[in-house]
């Protein structure tokens, strides 16, 4: 994938044609994770246009358990005032476990 690095996020992602069809673009923003060495390389690539190789993992899914007691619904893991339906519809950021990162340009504008 190609995109711009902002902290540990990869934004404006495009499929890389050189991958032989192995790319899956499910989002325009990914949180990048990796080994200690890889995190150092991600940090060096901040604000740069990069090509990232890695494995895409779905982001954290909200798990909500609730029960109805009388006329009141009680939820575990739910913010006050939020319903379980609202919790399940919140967007999440998928994660890419970075195996390699290559800086293509020092800034995303190039």
Q: What is the pLDDT of residues 29-86, one digit of tens each?
A: 889 999 999 999 999 999 999 999 999 887 555 555 677 788 887 776 555 555 545 4
Q: What pTM does this model have?
A: 0.61
Q: With left for phi above 0 and alpha for psi between -120 and 50, is residue 61 left, alpha or beta?
A: beta
Q: How far apart are CA 63 and CA 8, in angstroms?
A: 25
Q: Which of 105, 95, 90 is CA-nearest to residue 4?
A: 105
Confidence at 93, pLDDT banded by 50, 70, 90: confident
């Amino acid at each position: 994938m190609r995109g711009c690095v902002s902290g540990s996020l990869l934004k404006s992602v495009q499929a890389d044609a050189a991958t032989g069809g192995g790319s899956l673009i499910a989002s325009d923003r990914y949180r990048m994770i990796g080994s200690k060495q890889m995190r150092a390389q991600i940090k060096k690539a901040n604000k740069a246009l990069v090509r990232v190789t890695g494995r895409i993992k779905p982001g954290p899914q909200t798990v909500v358990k609730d029960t109805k007691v009388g006329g009141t619904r009680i939820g575990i893991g739910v913010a006050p005032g939020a319903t379980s339906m609202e919790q399940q519809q919140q967007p999440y950021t998928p994660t890419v476990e970075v195996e390699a990162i290559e800086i293509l340009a020092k800034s995303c504008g190039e």
